[in-house]
Amino acid sequence: MSYYFRLGAKSNLSADDLVSRLSQFSSVFSKPTLQLVHCLWTEHGPILHSQQELLSMASIGQLVDIQWKLGMAVSSDTCRSLNSPFISVLMKIADTSGEASYKTFEMTVPQFQNFYKQFKEMASVLETV
């Protein structure tokens, strides 16, 4: 059923279309179930479709390069004795058209530890999938 909901959202199927596909797919869905789906889809279908459109518009970039810098904030106008390490990251990103852009952000050491941990987990999942 979730496959058909996703298809319905992407293709902007009408409630009638969706119900007819479901009943063609399997006789497991009883009439009351199909009626409920029809009712729900009439109400929520259009919103789901517009959400899907937004998602496909948000572009997914590719990381081209990543650079890091470890710095120490020694002193500032509000605190003469700051002594705080920080990490600066510069990412070069290529968008879907191949155009490159740069993004930069800072992390504290604990934030970096979490960032590193997440990527290690990602690597481990990619290996086992």
Partner 1 sequence: MADADSQRSLSALLNGITQRVYHGNTEITEDFLKNELYPGMTQDEFRVLHDKMGSLLKSIASADMDQAQLEAFLTAQTRKQGSSGLNSDQAAALGRFWKAHRSRVRESLVAQSHWEPGLKGLRWRVDLHTSASKGTVANNPVALVELEMGRTGEKSEFVCLEFDEQKVNLVLKKMAELQESIDSIVHRS
**Interacting residues with partner 1 (CB under 8 A):** 58-63, 66-68, 70, 72-73, 76, 78-89, 91, 93, 103-109, 111-112, 114-116, 118-120, 122-123, 125-127, 129
CB of 2 to partner 1, least distance (A): 16
Which of 40/63 has CB closer to partner 1?
63
Distance CA 102, CA 79 (A): 31
Which of 46/85 has CB closer to partner 1?
85
Q: At what angle do helices 2-11 and 31-57 cross, to 10 degrees?
A: 50
Torsion of CA 16, 18, 21, 25, to 10 degrees: -130
CB of 92 to partner 1, least distance (A): 11
Which structure tokens are listed for 61? 């970039």
